[in-house]
Structure 1
Amino acid sequence: MAYGISTYAYFWRISARAPQPMTLTEMLHDTARLGGEVFQICDYAPVESYDSAQLADVRGTARDLGLRLELGTRGVRTGHLRKYLDMAGELGVTLVRSMLNTADHRPAPDEAVALLGETVPEYADAGVTLGLETYEQVATDDLLAVVRGVGSDHLGVVLDPGNSVARLERPADVVAATAPYVVNIHVKDFAFTRRDGWVGFTYAGCPLGEGLLDHDGMIAAVRAARPDADGINQIVEHWLPWQDEGFETTARLEHQWTQHSITTLLGGTSLSDTLSRSK
């Protein structure tokens, strides 16, 4: 398995709260410096407006840095997925992540199967795999019904077990159910903490290895179910809450969490060591 970073690991540093949001080129360089092998351009709206020359520049930068690229979007409408297939071709991408729902389209499983039945064969012909992510808006059983209904080796699951907790699905159950269909893995840890006064809980991200994600168990399950598991990439993401101290503190933590995640995946040092080096 190769290890990489998503635009979601730069969530605050590319947001409107950043005094000067990072560019895609800066994220690519940062990923290479941290030791990442893959960069997933996921739900990053600006890339949809890039012309062929701009996409070629992104592809060339990634190549020069030794990075592979992946794409991520939302929705299963035919025209939208064809647009991303065209972009995949220009970027040299072989994995596109999507989600069933968008703000204005929530297809039932039968409709999703029909729509994907039009575009997945085109993805297959181009050598591109489409992965549908696990998340709380769609029951894992329904997501798998769509994948099985299309029945293509070029349609699978992007596994992110933390997302489904809000649907009261246990992460271990999501992993077990989806393992035979996984084509990409999002790595983000998560935890519940008590609110002030012990009134309820906050469910948010935490540094990898400090929360409820059984990363070793997840990878073991996928390896046991997928003979081709070595070709599945693990992509670092975060659920880092905004820090009351402001942008600089939030951005520094975001970087530290990313560095820690990649270092951990590569078999390196602990978060305390990462924090010490970052001071």
Structure 2
Amino acid sequence: MAYGISTYAYFWRFSDRAPRPMTLPEMLRDTASLGGQAFQICDYAPIESYDSAQLADVRATADDLGLRLELGTRGVRPAHLLKYLDMARQLDVTLVRSMLNTADHRPDTTEAVSLLKEAVPHYEDAGVTLGLETYEQVSTDDLLAVVRGVDSERLGVVLDPGNSVARLERPVDVVTATAPHVVNIHVKDFAFTRRDGWVGFTYAGCPLGEGLLDYDAMIAAVRAARPDADGINQIVEHWLPWQDEGFDATARLEDQWTQHSINTLLRSK
């Protein structure tokens, strides 16, 4: 398995709260400097407006740094997925992550299967894998019904068990159910903390190894279920809350979490 970093690990540093948001080349260079082997450009809206020359520059930067690129988007409408497939070809990407729902489209399983059956054959022809992420808006059972309904070696699951907790699905159950279909793993830890006055909880990210993610068991389950597990990339993400002290403190902690996560993964080899 290769270890990499997602744009979500730079969430605050390229947000509009940053005095000078990080650029995509800066994120790539930082990933390489930390020892990352892959970079997932995930839910990064500017990439959709890049022309061929800009995409070529991104690919050249990644090549120079020795990074494998992945893409991430949302939705299953064929036109949108084919747009990302075209970008994937230009970026030499072999994994595109998506989600079933968008802000204006929430297909049921039958519609999702129908739409994906239009788009996935093009991914098959291009040798690109499409992964649908586990998350709270869609039950794991429904997500797997879609994957099984399309029945393609080029359609699988992007495993992020922390997302499904908000649907009252246990991470261990999500891992067990999806393991045979996993094509990509988002690695982020998570924990509940009591709110002030002990009234309710906050569910948020925490440094890898300090929360509820049973990382070793997750990887062991995927390895046991997938003969090709060595080809599955593990991608670092965070759920880092904004810090009361402001941007500098938030950016500093985001950087620390990213370094800690990638170092932990590299030590786990």
TM-score, structure 2 normalization: 0.99
Query: Which residue is 2:94 aligned to?
Result: 94
Query: Which residue is 1:45 aligned to?
Result: 45
- C-alpha RMSD of matched pairs (Å): 0.5
User: CA offset at residue 210 of structure 1?
Assistant: 0.1
SS where residue 227 of structure 1 aligns? Answer: coil
User: CA offset at residue 196 of structure 1?
Assistant: 0.5
Counterpart-to-counterpart distance in 1, 2:124 and 2:92 = 14
Query: Which residue is 1:185 aligned to?
Result: 185
Query: Which residue is 1:176 aligned to?
Result: 176
Query: Which residue is 2:33 aligned to?
Result: 33
- 1:75-124 superposed Cα distances (whole Å, 9 cap, x missing partner): 00010000000000000000000000000000000000000001101001
Query: Which residue is 1:275 aligned to?
Result: none
Query: Which residue is 1:103 aligned to?
Result: 103
- Aligned-partner residue type, residue 69 of structure 2: L
SS where residue 156 of structure 2 aligns? Answer: strand
User: CA offset at residue 181 of structure 1?
Assistant: 0.1
SS where residue 267 of structure 2 aligns? Answer: coil
Counterpart-to-counterpart distance in 2, 1:95 and 1:266 = 21
1:67 aligns with 2:94: no
- Aligned-partner residue type, residue 221 of structure 2: A
Counterpart-to-counterpart distance in 2, 1:146 and 1:240 = 31
Query: Which residue is 1:250 aligned to?
Result: 250
- Aligned-partner residue type, residue 130 of structure 2: L
1:164 aligns with 2:164: yes
Query: Which residue is 2:231 aligned to?
Result: 231
Query: Which residue is 2:218 aligned to?
Result: 218
1:198 aligns with 2:193: no
1:17 aligns with 2:17: yes
- Aligned-partner residue type, residue 100 of structure 1: L
Query: Which residue is 2:139 aligned to?
Result: 139
User: CA offset at residue 44 of structure 1?
Assistant: 0.1
Q: How many residues align?
A: 268
Q: Return 5+ residue gaps in structure 1 as ranges.
A: 269-279
- Aligned-partner residue type, residue 41 of structure 2: I
Counterpart-to-counterpart distance in 1, 2:223 and 2:62 = 28
Query: Which residue is 2:264 aligned to?
Result: 264
User: CA offset at residue 29 of structure 1?
Assistant: 0.3
Identity %, equivalent residues:
85
Query: Which residue is 1:207 aligned to?
Result: 207
- 1:123-182 superposed Cα distances (whole Å, 9 cap, x missing partner): 010000000000000000000000000000000000000000000000000000000000
Counterpart-to-counterpart distance in 2, 1:229 and 1:109 = 27
Counterpart-to-counterpart distance in 1, 2:40 and 2:266 = 18
Query: Which residue is 1:7 aligned to?
Result: 7
- 1:220-261 superposed Cα distances (whole Å, 9 cap, x missing partner): 000000000000000000000000000000000000000000
User: CA offset at residue 43 of structure 1?
Assistant: 0.2
- Aligned-partner residue type, residue 60 of structure 1: A
SS where residue 213 of structure 1 aligns? Answer: coil
Query: Which residue is 1:128 aligned to?
Result: 128
User: CA offset at residue 191 of structure 1?
Assistant: 0.1
Query: Which residue is 1:152 aligned to?
Result: 152
SS where residue 93 of structure 1 aligns? Answer: coil
Counterpart-to-counterpart distance in 2, 1:166 and 1:227 = 31
Query: Which residue is 1:272 aligned to?
Result: none
Counterpart-to-counterpart distance in 1, 2:201 and 2:225 = 34
Q: Return 5+ residue gaps in structure 2 as ranges.
A: none
SS where residue 113 of structure 1 aligns? Answer: helix
Counterpart-to-counterpart distance in 1, 2:68 and 2:104 = 32
TM-score, structure 1 normalization: 0.96
